Amino acid sequence: MSSSTILLPGQPLPSNLTTPPLPACGSGCYESNGRIIASIVGKPRRDGSIVRVIGREESGSAPDVGSIVIGTVSRLTAQQAHLTLTTSNDRPLPETSEEFQGVIRIGDIRLTERDKIKMAECFRLGDLVKAKVMSLGDARSYYLSTAANELGVMYAISEAGESARRTRLTTLPLPGNPLLPVSYQEMEDELTGRREKRKVAKPEGI
């Protein structure tokens, strides 16, 4: 992850910008247990001993059918994953009084073995997901699909971190460990080596 990467809320700043001694947090980010986390959509930047996330000045338009969106899983049921959407076609969504919401139905997660899909093995609360808009639902709500190799979970933390988040009743990211993709169906804790099931988005450039 480089300084030109667009960060989303909850993602850690790249390590090359946070090398010890840990820099002070400027606008658009905060420190959590020794890591610096983005609080807005934007590009990370370090100026001497201060890091910040610079918000993008131009917002994109609302998603349309065919748009590629990114959002955070905010609620799960046995049949659906609900996302709070952040970007559409690589541009931040316009600021409004109501958040843009998306729904991934269990039959729209992947193209194969649909009868064997279990929602809990595809997504977890707090996962960052890339999806495609299939159709428009109610106002500011969209039906989404991850049924393509490049779509699915882009970033996630280990189950231990998510359990801590639920225990403390907070929406802020708590340090589990980042999960790295190892296959289309699994991600691995980069520190412990423990694997967790996900519907993984194929990393760019691979």
Does 10 fall in a domain? no
Does 61 fall in a domain? no
Same domain, residue pair 138 and 173: no
Same domain, residue pair 145 and 159: no
List the one residue out of 144, 40, 136, 39 whose CA is nearest residue 83: 144
Q: Output phi, psi for 63, to 5 deg.
A: -60, 155
Same domain, residue pair 88 and 129: yes
Does 203 fall in a domain? no
In the predicted structure, residue 168 carries a pLDDT above the cut 60: no
Q: What is the pLDDT of residue 73?
A: 95
Integer Rg of the chain from CA = 17
Give me the CATH number covering residue 107: 2.40.50.140
Does 164 fall in a domain? yes
Q: Which two tokens stand for residue 166?
A: 């639920």
Give me the CATH number covering residue 32: 2.40.50.100
Does 163 fall in a domain? yes
Which has more pLDDT, 162 or 90?
Answer: 90
Which has more pLDDT, 6 or 95?
Answer: 6
Compute the average pLDDT of residues 146-165. 80
List the one residue out of 103, 104, 86 whose CA is nearest residue 95: 86
Same domain, residue pair 125 and 161: no
- pLDDT band for 39, please (50, 70, 90 cuts): confident
Same domain, residue pair 118 and 193: no
* Residue whose structure tokens are 């931040």: 92
Q: Which of 55, 83, 103 is the last residue of a domain?
A: 55
Same domain, residue pair 51 and 111: no
CB 102 within 8 A of CB 70: no
Q: Which of 114, 133, 151 is the last residue of a domain?
A: 151
Same domain, residue pair 19 and 47: yes
List the one residue out of 111, 128, 108 whose CA is nearest residue 201: 128
Does 97 fall in a domain? yes
Same domain, residue pair 108 and 161: no
Which pTM does this prediction carry? 0.68
Same domain, residue pair 96 and 160: no
Q: Output phi, psi for 16, to 5 deg.
A: -70, -15
Q: What is the pLDDT of residue 119?
A: 95
Per residue, the 3-state secondary structure of the chain, as one string, reads: CCCCCCECCCCECCHHHCCCCCCEECCCEEEECCEEEECCCEEEEEECCEEEEEECCCCCCCCCCCCEEEEEEEEECCCEEEEEEEEECCEECCCCCCCCEEEEEHHHCCCCCHHHCCHHHCCCCCCEEEEEEEEECCCCEEEEECCCCCCEEEECECHHHHHHHHHCCCCCCCCCCEEEECCCCEEEECCCCCEEECCECCCCCC
Compute the average pLDDT of residues 103-121. 91
In the predicted structure, residue 172 carries a pLDDT above the cut 50: no
Same domain, residue pair 147 and 161: no
Which has more pLDDT, 121 or 92?
Answer: 121
Q: Output phi, psi for 106, to 5 deg.
A: -60, -30
Does 2 fall in a domain? no
3-7, 28-32, 60-64, 123-127: which has the highest mean pLDDT? 123-127
Q: What is the pLDDT of residue 153?
A: 95
CB 44 within 8 A of CB 3: yes
Nearest-angstrom CA–CA distance, 3 and 1 = 7
User: How many domains does one find in the chain?
Assistant: 3
Same domain, residue pair 93 and 116: yes
Same domain, residue pair 138 and 72: yes
Range of the domain at 51: 15-55
